Every structure is written in structure tokens, then in C-alpha cells.
Structure 1
Amino acid sequence: MVSVSINPQPKETTMASALRTKFENYMIVQRKAPKTREACLLYVKGIANYFNQSPEKLNSEQIQDYLAYLITERKLAWRTCNVAFCALQCFYCKFLKRSSLEVNIPPRPRQRKLPEIFSKTEVASLIENAKDLRHRALLMMVYGSGLRVSEVVRLKAKDIDSERMLVRVEQSKGGKDRYTLLSQKALEVLRLYFRFYNPSTYLFVGKEKNEPMPIGTAQKMYTYAKEKAGLTKGLGIHTLRHYAESRTMPIS
């Protein structure tokens, strides 16, 4: 019998599962939003893979080099680089409790482009070209109430207050609840929508009746209507929000 020497597997040099679990549990206890936790894990894993080394062993100079790589080679937008910076600060300063982390990113560029917005005629054309009543109701809620796409897909039937003409938005950006106005035209479309679709839990559902509509589906509804209307300006469904941002009120 020939004996075969089997070399042990090399230790994992990137973000080990045990460290990842501890960091994720720390963020859960700190009540970090799911998207914040996702971003933190993404960039900590990114720096570990970049240096092919466990992130807890990296020093300030290496962290600064990684941020420089994101800016100069990956050419990420300042906002994205700032997310990476905050994610690494959370990991090293708060989770690992390092007090001497000397890392920074350049200040935000002063240049800022105004968002492309539709005229009233273009908005009317976009909504008119929605595929069906469900599409039209969703687009009118985004437009009339200034909702983010992540908010409109999580709306529940009970969130529509037709007596006070308000829409309750739970756990919006920053984990805060707020009220926003319900337009009369949106209410009229919603009444038709309730009559035909009779939503019970979520206002707009996906394939499963008890689950909210996926964000990608809502985005496709907007893209379909925009193309049918022959509109070229505006990027995503977020474009419709620019009409109603000043008509919201936080819940005290």
C-alpha cells in the first residue's frame, strides 16, 4: 500500500465566515438597516479580497490604498466611495474598536447636475401609456406622493388614508416613518384598482399574493410606459419623485 501525504487546506485569507458572522451580528444589534449591513459586508469583503488577507490584519495605509483604488482605478462615484469609507469606518473603528485609524477620502465635488424632470405633458403621456390599471396605479403613487420605489412596493392597503388624504410610509430611508400626501387623481385610480384587484395585505404584490412586488418589476413598469410614450429623458422611476419631494411630513 502506498501512503499518500495530503497537504492541509490553506487557511482562508479573505473575510472568514466566523468574523463575518460576528460583524453582521454586531450590526444587527446596532439596528443597522439591511442595506447598510449589506454595504458594510460588501466593502469589507472587497478590501480582504483586494489584499488577499483577513481584513482585521490590515493597517491604515492599506485601507487608504484600497480607497484610492476605488477612486482612481475603479472610478467609482464620490457617493459610492463615501459608502465604502463609512463601511470600513464601521468595521475598523466601531466593531474592531481601533482608535488610530487615519483614513480619509477627498471632499465631495462641488459640481452637481440638476436632475432631468418631465414636463406635466410628458408625465401625463407616461401614465397614459402604462400597460394596465395596476401599472398606472403604481406610477401615480410614485408621482403623486413622491415615493421611492422601495417604498411604493412595500405599501399596504391599510396605509392609504382617504379621509385625511395621506399615505403612511413605514421604515423609509433612515428607518423613519413618515406621512406623505395622497393626490385626488391617485385616489380615483386607487379606488378602481381596489375594485378590480382587491388587495388584502400589500397594495402591489408579486407572484406570491402575500409578498410585496419586487423592485425590479416596478422599474420595468416605468420603463415600459416611458418607451411607449417615446420619452428619452429621465433615468429610472426615481425621476417621478422630483415632483413631490417638498410635500412630505415626518411622523413626530
Structure 2
Amino acid sequence: MNWTAKVIQHKGENRIAVYFEKNADLIARIKKIDGARWSQQKMAWHIPDTEENRVRFKITPLSDTIPSEEAILQIEKFKQWMRSKRYSESTIITYSEALKSFLIFYRKKAVAEITNEDVIIYNNEYILKNNLSASYQNQIVNAIKLFFQTIRETKMLVDKIHRPKRAKVLPNVLSKEEIKLILNAHSNIKHKMMLSLIYSCGLRCGELLALEPVHIDSKRNLILLKNSKGKKDRIAPLSPKILEMLREYYKIHKPTTYLFEGQIKGQPYDARSLQLILKQALQKTEITKPATLHWLRHSFATHLLESGTDLRYIQEILGHSSSKTTEIYTHVSTKSIQQIKSPFDDL
């Protein structure tokens, strides 16, 4: 019987997800396990992360997934240092979890004794062996470098920690026709408004959900993005059509604290629910591309470039620190490429 199992995070708790093709016998067996639940979102059964369940589904024992007492203390100090430097909470979680993975691998070694050679061994024996991505490896390197910069007694030479060679992946872009279909897929004005605002202003998901009614400057046709990525404020142009939609939306929903609130007044809309809204739009329009909310932002930037907008303005609107980040959209813009005549046509 074919199945796979792995540890996942579900509502802030470690769970073991079990994936398999629909099988009545296996479902009946899993239902007998205390705390077994089905997740429609993850399309999997998940059970409590216990030593017994790990043995049952052939997952690394819990005892091998806990860092040493010294490492736990160092991770906590690292978190405190990042908080004092005002790193965002999401960065603190990402970096501390990445560091935890590295220190678990060396749980029998004193932190002060870890060397650059150990990083290479970890990359080969853990990252590559488990087919983990280069972006995850890069995340680990970022955490290791930052951590070893903050502690005094170490054999690690931070400047000599090498990064993986990064793949030059082009951003995913939808056509204007596909965008139009997606934005018109929902009749619910809130759902339509959220997707439209992401595309029309090139917003990140978190930026949209952090918006407050006071951030809309209707007199100057601007939207103020407070404390977005990198703790930077910026402004983005607001299209007159979007402003009309916002006025209609405001009359119906009358938001208080956040522009888009969840079921509880004063609480922001849930990011996972927003992703589900896009997924439903894709299903309704029968677009089979695995589009994410970030594809709308990529599409916004590419369509701006294709309409002749200066790259410097696009950089400013998107909030990119470096022009190199924005320049990637020149590689997916088809305006110039489509005008090139193939020599095949002259044959």
C-alpha cells in the first residue's frame, strides 16, 4: 500500500500528515488513531506528532529532532538579539527555525566547536541528501551567518560561509486576458476587491491585509503602504476604477480597523482564506496554471513595463531596494520579443 508521511505545522502545532490515494482500509485504520483529523486544505489526514506515531509511519524519532540544551539556549539568545534589532516576527521565526535545523544536525557537538567544514558537511549530508531546495539552503546560510556574527566564542569564519549558486528563475506572469477573467470570477465584492487591489497596485499579500481605511488617499489617488517589507513605507498609484470599486465596497462592508476584515470585526482577513479565493477563481475560469497571489504582483509589474512605464518607477511602486530585482521583469516582458521576426519566415 503506497503512502507517504511527514511532519507539518497545522494551526501552530506539529502534526504528522499522511498522504495516500483514496483507500477505505487505510482511512478506517487512521480514524482509529487518537486525534486523527482530515484537512480539506492540505488534502491529507493528520495525526498527533508523538513518538509512537513516528515509529508507526517510519518518521525520524522525536529524540533526534530536538536540539541540545545548549543549542536551545543559543537559539533563544539569537531570537532576543533579532528582536532587539527590530527584525520582523516572521523573519525571527524563519531564521530561528533554520538555525534549529542546523544545530539539531550537530546536537552532539558544542556550538563553539562548529566550523566552516561542518557547514559543507551539513549541506551535503542533509540538504542535498534530502533533495531540499537551493532557496531553503540559502535561508539556512543566512541564519547561520547572522547567528555566528552575534556570538563571541566560535571557530566559524563567517565571511567564508559560501552560498549555493542561485537558479535564475523568471517570475510567473499571467496575460491581461487571464487577469481579467480571474478578477471577474467572483460576484462577492470583497473577494473581487481584494484580488483587484493586489493586481492594480502590485501589492504583496501581507501588504493588502495590513491596509487600513486611512491608508487610502482618495484626493490624490494614492495608497499608503505602511511598514511593508524591510520596514519601509511607500506609496502606490490608485486607479480611478479601483477607487470607484472601493467606495462601493466601503458602503456595503463599512470596515473599521482594517480595510479587509475577517469574520471578527477589527481583525484582519486571513491570508489562507485569501489564497483560497484565488484558487476558487482559477477553478471557475478553468485556468490550469498554478497561479499564486504573488503572480498577480508579477503580472502587474510586467504589464506596466510592456505599456512603456520606466523601470525606475516600477521599482519605486513595488518597493524594491535594488534595481536588479526589478530588472528581472525585462526578461519576461514579451513586447520586444514578439516583434522579432524569425529567420524561419524567410525560408
Answer yes or no: is 1:50 the counterpart of 2:119: no
SS at the partner of 2:224?
Answer: strand
Q: Alignment partner for residue 248 of structure 1, among 304, 317, 323? A: 317
**In 2, distance between residues paired with 1:113 and 1:144?**
24
Answer yes or no: is 1:63 the counterpart of 2:119: yes
For residues 227-247 of structure 1, the C-alpha deviation after alignment (integer angstroms, 9 at most, x for no partner) is 111111242111111233327
SS at the partner of 2:263?
Answer: coil
For residues 38-74 of structure 1, the C-alpha deviation after alignment (integer angstroms, 9 at most, x for no partner) is 1221111101222333662441222232233454123
For residues 4-57 of structure 1, the C-alpha deviation after alignment (integer angstroms, 9 at most, x for no partner) is xxxxxxx97256543332221111111212222112211111012223336624
**In 2, distance between residues paired with 1:73 and 1:196?**
54
* Equivalenced residues, count: 238
Q: Alignment partner for residue 173 of structure 1, among 219, 229, 232? A: 229
Give 1:160's aligned residue: 216
**In 2, distance between residues paired with 1:67 and 1:100?**
17
Change (3 A) 1:58 1:232: farther
Q: Alignment partner for residue 87 of structure 1, among 116, 119, 143? A: 143
Change (3 A) 1:12 1:220: closer
TM-score (norm 1): 0.85
Give 1:30's aligned residue: 85
Change (3 A) 1:107 1:87: same
Change (3 A) 1:54 1:183: farther
- Between stretches 61-70 and 220-229, larger displacement belongs to 61-70
Q: Comparing both chains, which one has the higher relative contact order based on Cα–Cα distances under 8 Å and sequence gaps of 6 or more?
A: 1
CA shift for structure 1 position 82: 1.3
**Identity over aligned pairs, percent:** 27
Give 1:123's aligned residue: 179
**In 1, distance between residues paired with 2:100 and 2:296?**
35
Q: Alignment partner for residue 264 of structure 2, among 179, 183, 208? A: 208
Amino acid at match of 1:142: I
Give 1:100's aligned residue: 157
Contact 1:39 1:84 in 2 (8 A): no
Q: Alignment partner for residue 192 of structure 2, among 136, 157, 162? A: 136
**In 1, distance between residues paired with 2:271 and 2:110?**
32
TM-score (norm 2): 0.63
**In 1, distance between residues paired with 2:126 and 2:228?**
29
RMSD: 2.3
**In 1, distance between residues paired with 2:318 and 2:203?**
12
Change (3 A) 1:222 1:95: farther
**In 2, distance between residues paired with 1:158 and 1:20?**
39
Contact 1:156 1:203 in 2 (8 A): yes
Unaligned runs of 5+ residues in structure 1 are 1-10
Give 1:220's aligned residue: 276
Contact 2:137 2:164 in 1 (8 A): no
Change (3 A) 1:12 1:82: closer
For residues 100-120 of structure 1, the C-alpha deviation after alignment (integer angstroms, 9 at most, x for no partner) is 3442133323xx343332222
Higher strand share: 2
Contact 2:71 2:103 in 1 (8 A): no
SS at the partner of 2:227?
Answer: coil
**In 1, distance between residues paired with 2:118 and 2:226?**
40
Give 1:6's aligned residue: none
Unaligned runs of 5+ residues in structure 2 are 1-65, 302-313, 320-347
CA shift for structure 1 position 76: 2.7
